[in-house]
Structure 1
Amino acid sequence: MGKLWHRASDNYEIETELYSGPLDLLLDLIQKAELDITKLALAKVTDQFLAYVTLHKDVDPDFSSEFLVIASKLVQIKSEAMLPRPPIRMEDEEDVGETLARQLIVYREIKKASQWLSERFDQGQRCYLHLAQSYPVNVQLDLSNIEIADLIKALEQIAIQEQSIQDGATISIPRLTLRKKVQEIIQILRQDSQIRFSNLLGEQASRLDSIVLFLAILELVKQEMISTEQEGLFSDITLQANDKLYHVIENEVQIEEL
């Protein structure tokens, strides 16, 4: 990158890079000189700033006008700094140096935030994972429009997919006894008024066992013999016996067989 000029006595040099605006240039000059952002620091970098504006004055009129506004303020600041005593200002009169220093401090913080966001963008950290809170869930199953025949048909389709198809082999679907599973649940809940779905299922249960158990639970819920509860999303389901379960005769429960 080419250098515009160098003056050893003041120990500074101006680079010919383009800045996004006059505040960007000012901030860079002050940081390279390792100065705090004060009115005095602005006076010290006035010459460098004017040299940069002179070099780029023909690039773009709009670009030049922005820099010239700041340049005029810097000239005023430097002129006041060279006076033996500070100028007397009216009570409501603006101190150009203090105002510009405050603007530059704000600009510096904005630039830092912009650089931080740019780095995160480049690192692919544009997204933040928002984890959904866990809320207690009381599941109420509405089976008013569901027929047991529909569930049986779905069960049969799953059972067919479970079979390993061999050349010349005959696919047979095991006959499942939904009634027996319903009676089993009734007997368990009469001894203990509530039980978890996972305890009913057991650790060695197949997918087919799970489906039959689920169908049996749906049937008991539909007939209002049990209620179900779930503490959280994807948590275990608890089965609770209703009064009707204790008065029903097991063999008289109306169930469509598989």
Structure 2
Amino acid sequence: MSPKDAVDEQAEQADLAVAADLPPDAGGPSSGADSAPPDASATEEADGAAFARLYGEPVLKLPNDLYIPPDALEVILEAFEGPLDLLLYLIRKQNFNILDIPMAQVTLQYLSYVEEIRKTNLELAAEYLLMAAMLIEIKSRMLLPQRQHDLDVEAEDPRAELVRRLLEYEQIKLAAYELNTLPQVGRDFVRTQIFIEQSLVPTWPDVEVVDLQDAWRMLMKRATLKQHHKITREELSVREHMTSILRKLQSSRFIEFTELFNPESPPPVVVVNFVAMLELAKETLIEITQAEPFAPIYVRLAYSPA
């Protein structure tokens, strides 16, 4: 006898002993001649009424403190992403023409599925019930008799809007499926990371004289871009220059125009000196004369009669 058969035989003996309310060793071959054989019919009845077997003993009733969640044994065979997905599944499964949907058959199958959802999850069934109402409305519009005016004018098919939504949803679903087939990082492949050991001895690049010259030129170019020009304010008085011109003219009869200006003076001084001469001419204190065109210009004090 193999070890597995021996274990099975001991388990059967223990089960029979429990069913007969005897010690586990009472039913074995070493129990003696006075031991009564177990009742086989009682064991079969206990096994048939038991929910399960725990340590070889049949469990005839569930414990009072045992809690089984409502969704513990729930099995979902088909998972749909919405009412359109379910409706498209029913149409494609039975090879219906999507442009000519048999509303009666599709609606009955749809309502049977919604009824199963409503028993377990009422919140999820609300969205499906809205689509069911739409299907019933379309079917009722198809059953209504058409008037004579509607017969003359070609009426729109009540299923047209539903067909359009189904075709658009199918296109989006196929596009999503094609995108899902593309390789994705972490799902289809993993990016590899390679460790490259670098040398610990530093290698310095060779620097030529031309490189130093270029670096110096760039440094000087940057320095010229940051030059500062400080503007100072110099106070100049027109009256003082007018007095200076009159003093020069008092010592001589005529003075050439260029002699009244110092060529080494800065431009602001020359400008103020010229403005002072114009003020004197305006006040008729000096006279500016020229003998002929392109001749030298002379300046003298204005003649005043005694």
Do Structure 1 and Structure 2 share a fold, with TM-score over 0.5? Answer: no
Query: Which one has the largest radius of gyration?
Result: 2
TM range (shorter): 0.3 to 0.5
Instruction: Give TM-score, length-normalised by structure 2.
Output: 0.34
Greater RCO (Cα-Cα under 8 Å, separation 6 or more): 1
